Structure 1
Amino acid sequence: MKKLLFLVLVFIGAAFLLTNPFTTSTWTLGSSKTEAALTNSIESIKLKTANVNTVIEEYNGKEVKADLQGKGKVNVQRNGKMITVTYKNKPFSFFSFGNSSKLTIYIPKEYSNDLELNVGSGDVEFNETSLSLTNFSVKVQSGYTVIQGIDADKLDINVSSGDLVINKVRTKEGSVDLQSGDITIKNYEGKLDSHVSSGDASISINRVVDSIKAHVSSGDMTVTLPPKADITLQAKASTGDINNRFNFKTMKEQEDEIQATNGKGTHRIDVDVSSGDFNLR
């Protein structure tokens, strides 16, 4: 019994030494870099976070930088035409019962190529920027992510779990894939192709400038349109419900199908519901 108690105390002591904040400065897994120069040859920036609260900001500078307050390790690395920012917890971090560390990532205002954001867990806040990107990819596996504004030629959003809130979007072509969790997008402008297999999606269109496609296989999706939108709606439901509150100029409604137009009917909206609910407002 005494031997077992001794082993337990040794194990607890080792865990404490590994997780106590004063050991953070001595924990290394190779060299760590906190910035990388942004040159004209850089075509892509990839941000990978997990189990850390993260803030992403633009700034007047020439480097992609990261500042970590708390436990763990951040690394900013250039590999060819890509800069990658990664964060990792230190070994045995599961003993720390949560992570209060804060990671701030700085992106130069002049950057205009591809940006990829991968959120494994934790809270992420992407502050409003003047960045005008070529491609912007967002992947959320867990946690809570807020993006204040997006301006990109092409937008790709994938949420497998967790919550994503985007307050302003302007894009030529956007794709939204929700497998589980919740997505809220406000002030969307651009072409949209959306798929909801589970969870809840709410998208508010600021101005209809291109086609909109929505496929709901399960879960709920709500699309809110401006009252003077020039649209033609074709909506079908094999199982599930299509609920319309939009005041169309002309509308033909059957049990499982809605055909309608508003204004000049310039832009097409296609809705396919195999299960779940689709709401149009």
Structure 2
Amino acid sequence: MKKLLAFLAVLACFYIIALSLQRVSWFPFGSKETQAASMHNIEVIDIHASAADVSVIPVNREDVKAEYKGKGKLKVTKSGDTVKVSLVRSWLEGINFFDKKKLKIYIPKDFNQKMAVNIGSGKLHFSGPSKEHPMNLKELNLDMSSGMVDLEKLHIESYHHEGSSGNANLDYVTAGNATIKMSSGNVDINHYHGKLNARLSSGRFKAQMDQLNDPIDVKISSGILNLDLPKDSDFTLNGNVSSGILSCKFPLENGFDSRHRISGSYGTGKYKINVTASSGKVSIY
């Protein structure tokens, strides 16, 4: 018993000392850091920042600059055609659960190649300059275990989003091809243009299209699926719900309409729309 009490006392002392060290400005794991790297001949920006609040900001510049505040160590490195921005965990990181890691990454607004982002359970905000002048990228690959993602005013040839859970919001995003795979969570898409392929195990999926110029394929295991389409759309719908409710506000031709299955065409029927739910509610309007 005495040995156990002594051990607990040592742990308590260590914890108090660690917290005291974090309060003083010279403690290296709580400092503010800034690093930069040249963008000459760079084709990929690779970001690894688990559990951090990350903002990607396109500006007028010729290099990548990262500003970080929080525990851990910021590293901006260049290797071949890739600039990597990463956070290295400190040995005391698990002690303070209230630490807020904030990372701002300033990139050239005319960069138009590839980005890969791994935020784990953190947050990502990435916005182009404006709706009229969006940020253009060939590829954007996003990986998160759980977290929050806000993407705005982007034009992406290929977008791939994979996550275990969390929330994703896309506003004024155009994609040649977008693939979203999430185990659970909420996906909210507004003012979208492009091909869309989504898989959601459970949660809520909503997509509002300004124009329908590509096919849509969405499947959820359980939850709510809403598709908000323009009135002048041209599509052929194939919708199925194993257990739940399926509804379509568009008057369809040459089709079938029941509580669990709807098929048919609207307008010229040019673009295919496939929506499937194992259980839940599906609405097309």
Q: If the TM-score is normalised by the length of the shorter chain, which range does it land in?
A: 0.7 to 0.9
Q: Which residue of 1 aligns with 2:192?
A: 188
Q: Is the 8 A contact 2:246 2:262 kept in 1?
A: no
Aligned to 1:125: 125
Fraction of identical pairs, as percent:
26
**Is the 8 Å Cα contact of residues 59 and 109 (structure 1) preserved in structure 2?**
yes
Aligned with 2:207 (options 203, 213, 236): 203
The answer for the alignment partner of 1:47 in structure 2 is 47
Task: Give the counterpart letter for 2:24 in structure 1.
Answer: F
1:219 counterpart SS class: strand
CA distance in 1, matches of 2:151, 2:53: 14
Structure with the higher fraction of residues in strand conformation: 2
**Conservation of the 8 A alpha-carbon contact between 1:228 and 1:262:** no
Question: Which residue is equivalent to 1:36?
Answer: 37
Residues 13-53 of structure 1: CA deviation (Å, up to 9, x unaligned): 3334445143764459xxx982211112x221111222222
1:221 alignment counterpart: 225
CA distance in 2, matches of 1:120, 1:149: 23
Distance 1:186 1:137 in 2: 20
Relative to structure 1, the CA distance from residue 172 to residue 214 in structure 2 (aligned partners, 3 Å threshold; closer, same or farther) is: same
1:143 matched to 2:141? The reply is no
- Kept in 1, the 8 Å contact 2:228–2:284? The answer is yes
Task: List runs of 5+ in structure 2 lacking aligned partners.
Answer: none
* Other-structure match for 1:241: 244
Partner of 2:283: 279
Bigger mean CA offset, 10-19 vs 49-58: 10-19
Q: Does the 8 Å CA contact 2:246/2:260 hold for their aligned counterparts?
A: no
Against the structure 1 CA distance between its residues 17 and 233, is the aligned structure 2 distance closer, same or farther, given a 3 Å change threshold? same
Closer, same or farther: CA 259–36 of 1 in aligned 2, 3 Å: same
Matches of 2:79 and 2:23 in 1, distance apart? 31
Aligned to 2:99: 99
CA distance in 1, matches of 2:199, 2:26: 43
The question of whether the paired residues in 2 share the 8 Å contact of 1:178 and 1:199 is answered with no
The within-5 A match list for 1:17-96 is: 17-19=17-19, 20-22=22-24, 25-27=27-29, 34-40=35-41, 42-96=42-96
Shift of 1:9: 4.2
Flag structure 1 segments of 5+ consecutive residues without an equivalent.
Answer: none
**Per-residue deviation at 1:271?**
2.2
Alpha-carbon distance in 2 for matches of 1:50, 1:279:
35
C-alpha RMSD over aligned residues: 2.4
Aligned residues of 1:15 and 1:92 also touching (Cα < 8 A): no
Letter in 2 for 1:75: K
1:259 corresponds to which residue? Answer: 263
Distance in 2 between the 1:17 and 1:208 partners? 60
TM-score, structure 2 normalization: 0.87
Q: Give the Cα–Cα distance (whole angstroms) in 1 for the partners of residues 3 and 218 of structure 2.
A: 64
State the TM-score, normalized to the length of structure 1: 0.88
Q: Does the 8 Å CA contact 1:17/1:23 hold for their aligned counterparts?
A: no
**In structure 2, how many angstroms separate the alpha carbons of the residues matched to 1:13 and 1:106?**
41
- Identify the range of structure 1 (7-16 vs 159-168) with the bigger mean alpha-carbon deviation: 7-16
Of the candidates 160, 163, 169, which is equivalent to residue 159 of structure 1? Answer: 163
Using the TM superposition, give the Cα deviation of residue 247 of structure 1 relative to its aligned residue in structure 2, in angstroms: 2.1
- C-alpha distance 81-142 of structure 1, shift in aligned 2 (>3 A): same
Partner of 2:202, secondary structure, is: coil
